[in-house]
Amino acid sequence: MAEIPAVPEGKPILTKAPRLLSLDFFRGFTVAAMILVNNPGSWSHIYAPLEHSAWHGCTPTDLVFPFFLFIVGVSIVYAMESRKANPELHAAMLVSILRRSLTIIFLGMCLSLVWNFDFAHLRIPGVLFRIGVVFGISSFIYIKTTTKTQLYIAAALLLGYYILMNFVPVPGYGAPNLEPETNLGAWLDRLVFTENHLWKSSKTWDPEGLLGTLPAIGTSLLGILTGTWLKQGKLKALKDLGRIAGTGVLLVVLALIWNLFFPINKSLWTSSFVLFTAGLAIIILSLSYWLIDIKRYQLLIWPFVAFGRNAITAFVLSGILPRLISFIPYTHEGEKTNIWSFHLHVFEAHLSPNNASLISAFTVVLLIFIPIWWMYKKNVIVKV
């Protein structure tokens, strides 16, 4: 897909852009938020909205990952639609998709190993693992099926997951349940990965486990359906986007109803969670499309567009940079420490613990932004 050159801040685009700027903005904002919530100065001092929900429920932080997977779905349409129309290109496309999926999964493994080279306790599921799997399967479905079939598959995944989690007995535990350690997904993860390869904070279940990847594919498929809808018409009238945004509102309402008997839960990636987060994503993307791509309000979007153009690169850097800083030794008042701990100490000397932790997180975002902005200005885009 062709790239457009960087545009100076505050200057509107006068020529037709081959990319959807609102999508780049939404992706970049989501990645910046992901970096922010993943890198607090102290995990003991975090404002409630910047934490994941303890179990059932949804915080702003819980929206970040599903928003990204939804955007993956929209991006699939914009990247592959023209080639999908030619069946002769499908074989090469599928090979490229498989390579990209495996590369993303491999990057996730490397991030886990780079600081602790221990295959015996390597966490296999994870954020990049789920992104790679969801991207690969969603792309295959998009290329080989019609829009109607994609809708049916998304519905089947969400309904099927609801049935599995609520009506299939859990081997060794009995009745189906939605508790962290005894639900069907946790049992499957322990069976496949063993406790040595699951999330280190629990060892008995994983928030990016196998079974929860099924509804996560549904999240991406809803993004694909939205992307297809966006590309089908000119959408120059507010009422046209209103229909799309109205669909988002409908999904949120359905999610809140479903929540009464299948609770919204990010760790389980429940079907109600899929509808709730996809509905909000549709509303946000519709509004962004109207403001950025149609009305051309683009003055403040460019830092987020930069993050959006190299989203995976920014995420990988965020997994390396803070730990790398913590290896740099520093001596303060005769006490040996490291740069990371010292910079947090400086903030804590003037701010409350929560504010110091938050400012530290923003510092990480800014540090990642420096190379990402340089790449954007130089039109350097790293594709996996």
Q: What is the pLDDT of residues 5-42, one digit of tens each?
A: 343 343 333 334 357 899 999 999 999 999 999 999 88
> CA-based angle 66:67:70, to the nearest 5?
85
Give the least confident one: 121-125, 200-204, 265-269.
200-204
Provide the sign of the torsion angle of the four alpha carbons 280, 284, 287, 289, taken in this order: negative
pLDDT at 311 over 70: yes
Per-residue H/E/C for 132-170: HHHHHHHHHHHHHCCHHHHHHHHHHHHHHHHHHHHHCCE
Q: Considering all CA atoms of the chain, what is the largest pairwise distance in Å, rounded to the nearest integer?
A: 69
What share of the chain in percent tops pLDDT 90? 69
Q: Looking at residue 305, what is its pLDDT?
A: 96
Name the β-bridge partners of 338: 329
Under the banding of pLDDT at 50, 70 and 90, the label for residue 94 is very high
Provide the sign of the torsion angle of the four alpha carbons 44, 45, 51, 53, taken in this order: positive
Closest CA to 214 of 105, 133, 295, 301: 133
* Cβ-count burial 40-65 (b if 16+ within 10 Å, e if not): bbbeebbeeebebeeebebbebbbbb
Q: Looking at residue 41, what is its pLDDT?
A: 85
Q: Report the pLDDT averaged over residues 286-299.
A: 91
Q: How does DSSP classify residue 176?
A: -
Q: Report the pLDDT averaged over residues 182-203.
A: 89
Q: Looking at residue 253, what is its pLDDT?
A: 98
pLDDT at 181 over 50: yes
The answer to whether 272 and 252 are in contact (CB under 8 A) is no
- Residue 85: burial class (beta carbons within 10 Å; 0-12, 13-18, 19+): exposed
Residues comprising the chain, all counted: 384
Q: Looking at residue 241, what is its pLDDT?
A: 82
Quick one: tokens of 344?
């947090």
259: which residues sit within 8 A by CB, 6+ positions away? 272, 276
Measured between alpha carbons, how far is 304 from 29 in angstroms, rounded to an integer? Answer: 5
Q: What is the pLDDT of residues 229-261, one digit of tens each?
A: 988 765 555 677 888 999 999 999 999 999 999
Looking at the whole model, is its pTM more than 0.85? Answer: yes
Closest CA to 185 of 219, 167, 209, 156: 209
DSSP string, 201-215: TTSS--TT-STTHHH
Under the banding of pLDDT at 50, 70 and 90, the label for residue 329 is confident
- Residue 107: burial class (beta carbons within 10 Å; 0-12, 13-18, 19+): buried
The answer to whether 306 and 376 are in contact (CB under 8 A) is yes
pLDDT at 330 over 50: yes
Q: Report the pLDDT averaged over residues 316-330.
A: 83
Q: Is 269 left (phi over 0), alpha (psi -120 to 50) or beta?
A: left
Give the phi and the psi of residue 253 in degrees, each rounded to 5. Answer: -65, -45
pLDDT at 150 over 70: yes
Q: Report the pLDDT averaged over residues 71-96.
A: 95
194 or 327: which leads in pLDDT: 194
